[in-house]
Amino acid sequence: MGIYVTGDLHGGIDISKLSGRHFPLGRLLTKDDYLIIAGDFGLVWDNGAEELYWRDWLEDRPWTTLFVDGNHENHDMLAELPEEEWMGGRVGRLSPSVMHLKRGQIYTIEGSTIFTMGGATSVDREWRVPGRSWWAGEMPTEAELDAAEAALDEAGWKVDYVVTHCCATSMLERVYGSDQVWQGSDALTEWFEILEHKLDFRLWYFGHHHQDRSLPPDHCVLFRDIVPLGEMVDGELPGDDAERTAELAPGDADPTIELDAPGDEEDPMPV
């Protein structure tokens, strides 16, 4: 059994990274293995024919797919998914082996605790149509943030992993460089900034920025790469610092398998 993490799918646009060609390890997985998508899942949008095709395709993969929501989702439809308790938290079930990891939850999967918080600001909102290509639910509500803090209080503000779509304000400069930050802070990036200083975690994964980079000692931004939980890009491991000294158990991925990524150039802007 194993857990893997990757970045945005954008519906069928970037789903090819899950194909056997680009993710050969996937052929060896079972429904007891998990692939987590760090937001912009994009397959709960309008129930169109193409979307339904890709949902069926994903359900037919040998693994179980889990996803946090990004900014580019139909949040009204996500809210209507049947909700249930799963691995210690609440999920929205899209199909038997595809589930939405809801905001502010802590799941215990294969002995690891994983905190999730979806959502982000759409920098392209002015070109989108409310109710058709943009939904106000892209950002967490105060109630969702309060519930998340209550869950973290109960956990003693300590988890193994964090999976979100966007990141803390201070991480933006590390992603883009101090003179290239195109996205300013917002209520969610500032809330994540609190977590950076208060939450004890081993490794924080996020998507949104269309990059695959390790950000030592304990952050990883993902787009096309697929990494074992507990590892960063190219097999790097999170480093210890004064506040986070927990040792990381070795991953269970086969190190001899190279995961190819699609050959397209990276798009530095989130969609």
Residue 134 is predicted with a pLDDT of: 63
User: What are φ and ψ of residue 158, in 5° steps?
Assistant: -145, 125
Question: Pairing state of beta strands 3-6 and 203-206?
Answer: unpaired
Give the residue-averaged pLDDT of 37-66.
Answer: 96
Residue 137 is predicted with a pLDDT of: 79
On the question of pLDDT at 243 being above 90, the answer is no
- What's the distance, CA 97 to chain centroid? 17
What proportion of the chain, given as a percentage, has pLDDT over 90? 72
What length does the chain have? 271
Residue 183 is predicted with a pLDDT of: 66
**Cα–Cα distance for residue pair 203/215, rounded to 1 Å:** 10
Give the residue-averaged pLDDT of 13-22.
Answer: 95
Residue 131 is predicted with a pLDDT of: 67
Expressed in angstroms, the distance from the first to the final Cα of the chain is 32
Residue 36, classed as helix, strand or coil, is: strand
- What domains can be seen in the chain, in order of their start residue? 3-235 (3.60.21)
Nearest C-alpha neighbor of 159 from the set 105, 118, 120: 105
Q: pTM score > 0.75 for this model?
A: yes
On the question of pLDDT at 268 being above 60, the answer is no
Give the residue-averaged pLDDT of 150-159.
Answer: 98
**Cα–Cα distance for residue pair 72/49, rounded to 1 Å:** 19
Residue 54, classed as helix, strand or coil, is: helix
Peptide bond preceding 217 in cis form (omega within 30 of 0):
yes
**Cα–Cα distance for residue pair 251/258, rounded to 1 Å:** 15
H-state helical runs in 113-232: 142-154, 169-176, 187-198
On the question of pLDDT at 82 being above 70, the answer is yes
Tokens describing residue 10: 């954008």
Contact status, residue 141 vs residue 102, Cβ threshold 8 Å: no
pLDDT digits 0-9 by tens, 176-185: 876 555 667 8
Residue 89: CA count within 13 A, CB half-sphere: 27
Residue 245 is predicted with a pLDDT of: 32
Residue 128 is predicted with a pLDDT of: 80
On the question of pLDDT at 101 being above 90, the answer is yes
H-state helical runs in the chain: 49-59, 75-79, 142-154, 169-176, 187-198
Give the residue-averaged pLDDT of 153-180.
Answer: 90
Q: Given its phi and psi angles, is residue 176 left (phi above 0), alpha (psi -120 to 50 degrees) or beta?
A: alpha
**Cα–Cα distance for residue pair 178/110, rounded to 1 Å:** 38
Name the helix (H) or strand (E) containing 206: strand 203-206
Rg (CA), the chain: 17
